[in-house]
Structure 1
Amino acid sequence: MMMGLGPLLLVFMLGLSLTPPALTQDDSRYKHFLTQHYDAKPKGRNDRYCASMMERRGLTTPCKDTNTFIHGNKGNIKDICGNKNGIPHRENLRISKSAFQVTTCRHTGGSPRPPCRYRATQGFRNIVVACENGLPVHFDESFFHL
């Protein structure tokens, strides 16, 4: 009886070892997106907020020119990748049906090396993301909600 389970167990173990890298890669791109662009409950949303968040998220070596932080619920952001909160936009992108509270941080110039200085702009905007396997993996742009 053990003889019959050996090959089956081997196939099962091989299947497990081959599946996770694909899932891990998708998950790591989504996590990278969240690190760069997601802050659920911001404190301040002013120039000091931008300087602090950009440094905390590792976006200051060199100083990144522009970065947008999306505030609110992660589920609503994920929903852009489906029909619940997103529609196709240009080639391979999706635009949100609803506006999100965002803070855009723009480097104010000077040296591309720290300390970086940023100007904050806050508002509500529809956002455009690229999705892979139902998850946002790239922030493309945002539009002011009129």
Structure 2
Amino acid sequence: MKLLILNGPNINMLGKRERAIYGESSYEDLCEYIRVNGQNLSINVDILQSNIEGELVTYIQDAYDKYDGIIINPAAYTHYSIAIYDALKAVDIPTVEVHISNIYAREEYRRKSVVAPACIGQISGFGIYSYVMGMMALINKAK
């Protein structure tokens, strides 16, 4: 199984920004954690991050016919990116939306995801373990 892991804006600032919400792990720690857990689950992972919506859309489009699944943390784009939603619908690759924090326990505007309806599911609030849960969900979906 080959998965694309996409991270949106400010995820590259993990370990520096709002540690009480996002934890102490750096972005590099997150990537290593994903790689190790992917390896343990016999999954090949490619990890990309961008602060630019159009780049994320291009990454999704480029995933067509190359990946068995996508795990996306759209970050702030979760709440308003119809472009990301449309890209996910266009490629029709099983996708899991993940969030490090529990978006439903935060500000009201963070509780709505316009991306989630293009996904097979959403995982929120389990820290960086949310990514592992996403991998396991995609393995289960492929069975």
> Under a length normalisation based on structure 1, what TM-score does the superposition of the two structures give?
0.26
Higher Rg of the two aligned structures: 1
> Under a length normalisation based on structure 2, what TM-score does the superposition of the two structures give?
0.26
* Structure with the larger strand share: 1
